[in-house]
Structure 1
Amino acid sequence: MTSTDLSALLSRPFTLAVAARHGVGRSVVRRLVRDGDVRRVIHGVYVGAQVGDTPQVRAGAAVMVMPRGAVVCGRTAAWLHGVRVPADPRDAARRTAPVEVVVPVGAVLPRRHGCRARTMALAPGEVVRLAGIPVTSPLRTAADLARTSDRDTGVVVLDGFLRAGLIPPAALAGLVGRYAGHPGCRRLAEVVRLADSRSAGAEETRLRLALPGAGLPAAEVGWEIRSAFGRVLHRFALAWPGALVGVRMTEDRHWVRARQRSIAGQGWLVLDCPRAQAGTDPAATAARIGSELRLRERRNAGDLAA
């Protein structure tokens, strides 16, 4: 084998059987691994060390050693669709999350390090191919994750698919009926009810879901203030336009800070909210926002009384 042929082999995942067909024996692969030129992606599948460790590479490796008809699903499928989702709590101690795969009903459930497989029936329209990899469709992927995750994570997932335009908002109406009878269908119905494509990220979604627990009224999501010519002057993650109070996500690490700002000729109370804080402790963040909102309302009432 020439160096060019070897480079072509190492540029994508391969098994020992594939290597043998290219004239590269098991001992050579072991030597390449030992020398650091090749790494193991999952048990039984290798790739050149120069190839990045991405969900696409791991998913492509997994389907090579799964039973015929295997399809990438769950969180791995979401990543392949371009939607970042919260990690599975079961994988908190893992350096790399396993590739999630579904195999046809009746197939032997494989047990392979680096993969998490389950048996499930899929309709023909629920499978698509991304870069040659069979993956559950956006609608099926979102429905599966919404059914099997906690409520807030499910809403984060569905918001992400809606925001990316992978699921038409009109499709939500039939989503619950489509998967009626599946495990977790009640959770799916709740998630669909709470989903909102205007949310710009997971932190905004989690903060929005924490508002009722802090005794706060529903907020406008992704509220935009526009000029007379339609230009967006400002976007709030959450806003109460009647009270002229808006929440703006920031990247700093300070607590929620309030400041007055004139926007489009109106005096808004802008609450700068650390994005990381909203994601890790949305309840406490919502409580802080609530105290600022109630203070604003009391001041407004005092001004009217005067």
Structure 2
Amino acid sequence: MTPTDLSALLSRPFTLAVAARHGVGRSVVRRLVRDGDVRRVIHGVYVGAHVDDTPEVRARAAVMVLPRGAVVCGRTAARLHGVRVPALPRTQARRAAPIEVVVPVGAALPRRHGCRARIMALGPGETVWRAGIPVTSPARTAADLIRTSDRETGVVVLDGFLRAGLIAPDTLAALVERYAGHPGRHRLAEVVRLADGRSAGEDETLLRLALLDAGLPAAEVGWEIRSAFGRVLRRFALAWPGARVGVELTDDRQWVRARPRSIAGQRWLVLHCPTLQARERPTATVARIGSELRLREHRNRGDIAA
């Protein structure tokens, strides 16, 4: 085997059988592992050490050695669809997340280090292909994650699928109906009611939920103020147009004093909310936004009365 051929072999996950077909014996693979040129992805599958350890690489490795009909699902499937899933608690995230797969009813449940498998029947249209890997469809992936996660994770996930255009908003009612007889159906219905694809990311979604839980009026998500010619002048993560209050998430470490600003001929109160504080001190963040919103509404009522 030439160096070029060996490089091509190591650039993708391979089994010992695949290596043998390329003229690379078991002893050579073991030596490459020992020398640090090759690493084991999961039991029985290897890849060159220079290849990044991504969900796609590990998923591709898993389907090579799992029973026929195995399909990547859960968090792994979401990542392959390009949708970010909130991180697991620190106690669970110290090791690389296992590749989640389902195998058809009647197949033996595989037990391989680095894989988490379960037996489940998938319906028509619930399997798609991503980069040559069988994956549960966006709708099935979202439904599975939502039904088995907490509310916040579920809304973040569904917001992500909606934002990416992988699930259409007008199909959400059918999604709830499709899984009406499954465990977690009430959580799915709740998440569908709260989801909004206009959210730009996890931090915006979690702040929106925290404000709702505190009893504040529902905010408009991703509110844009446009010029007479349609140009976007300002985008707020969350906004209350009636009170003309908008929240922007920033990289600042501290709050910047809220000041009214003229935007498209209207006086808006712009709240520059530090993302880090919203993430680490959600209660204090919600209290501050609520206080500013109530004060603004009180002043607006005074202006009208005057």
Quick check: TM above 0.5? yes
Greater shift, 224-233 or 85-94, is seen at: 85-94
Q: What residue in structure 2 maps to residue 291 of structure 1? A: 291
1:157 is paired with a residue whose SS is helix
1:81-160 paired onto structure 2 within 5 Å:
81-89=81-89, 92-160=92-160
Deviation of the 1:238 alpha carbon? 0.7
Q: What residue in structure 2 maps to residue 271 of structure 1? A: 271
Q: TM-score, normalised by structure 1?
A: 0.95
AA paired with 1:253? R
CA–CA distance in structure 2, aligned partners of residues 150 and 124 of structure 1: 27
Q: What residue in structure 2 maps to residue 183 of structure 1? A: 183
CA–CA distance in structure 1, aligned partners of residues 109 and 277 of structure 2: 41
Question: Are the equivalent residues in 2 in contact too, given 1:256–1:289 (CA < 8 A)?
Answer: no
CA distance change for structure 1 residues 65 and 256 in 2, over 3 Å: closer, same or farther? farther
Greater shift, 54-63 or 18-27, is seen at: 18-27
2:23 is paired with a residue whose SS is coil
1:211-246 CA distance string (max 9 Å, x none) = 122221111111111111111110111111111110
How many aligned positions are there? 306
Q: TM-score, normalised by structure 2?
A: 0.95
Q: What residue in structure 2 maps to residue 165 of structure 1? A: 165
Greater shift, 155-164 or 34-43, is seen at: 34-43
Greater shift, 282-291 or 134-143, is seen at: 282-291
CA–CA distance in structure 1, aligned partners of residues 198 and 132 of structure 2: 32
Q: What residue in structure 2 maps to residue 5 of structure 1? A: 5
Deviation of the 1:158 alpha carbon? 0.5
Question: Are the equivalent residues in 2 in contact too, given 1:40–1:47 (CA < 8 A)?
Answer: yes
RMSD: 1.7
AA paired with 2:51? V
1:106-136 CA distance string (max 9 Å, x none) = 2222221111111111013100111110000
AA paired with 2:235? R
Deviation of the 1:305 alpha carbon? 5.4
CA–CA distance in structure 2, aligned partners of residues 98 and 152 of structure 1: 22
1:56 is paired with a residue whose SS is helix
Question: Are the equivalent residues in 2 in contact too, given 1:127–1:137 (CA < 8 A)?
Answer: yes
Question: Are the equivalent residues in 1 in contact too, given 2:87–2:93 (CA < 8 A)?
Answer: no
2:273 is paired with a residue whose SS is strand
Deviation of the 1:300 alpha carbon? 3.2
CA–CA distance in structure 2, aligned partners of residues 244 and 174 of structure 1: 35
Q: What residue in structure 1 maps to residue 24 of structure 2? A: 24
CA–CA distance in structure 1, aligned partners of residues 106 and 185 of structure 2: 24
Question: Are the equivalent residues in 2 in contact too, given 1:159–1:199 (CA < 8 A)?
Answer: yes
1:100 is paired with a residue whose SS is strand
CA–CA distance in structure 2, aligned partners of residues 280 and 113 of structure 1: 34
1:53-92 paired onto structure 2 within 5 Å:
53-89=53-89, 92=92
AA paired with 1:250? T
Question: Are the equivalent residues in 2 in contact too, given 1:16–1:44 (CA < 8 A)?
Answer: yes
Residue identity (%): 83
Q: What residue in structure 1 maps to residue 241 of structure 2? A: 241
1:269-289 CA distance string (max 9 Å, x none) = 101112233344434322221
CA–CA distance in structure 2, aligned partners of residues 15 and 32 of structure 1: 14
AA paired with 1:163? R
AA paired with 1:275? T
Q: What residue in structure 2 maps to residue 48 of structure 1? A: 48
Q: What residue in structure 2 maps to residue 221 of structure 1? A: 221
CA distance change for structure 1 residues 9 and 92 in 2, over 3 Å: closer, same or farther? same
Question: Are the equivalent residues in 2 in contact too, given 1:91–1:97 (CA < 8 A)?
Answer: no
2:242 is paired with a residue whose SS is helix
CA distance change for structure 1 residues 206 and 73 in 2, over 3 Å: closer, same or farther? same
Deviation of the 1:43 alpha carbon? 1.9
Q: Which runs of 5+ in 2 are unaligned?
A: none
Greater shift, 103-112 or 77-86, is seen at: 103-112
Q: What residue in structure 1 maps to residue 35 of structure 2? A: 35
Question: Are the equivalent residues in 1 in contact too, given 2:255–2:274 (CA < 8 A)?
Answer: yes
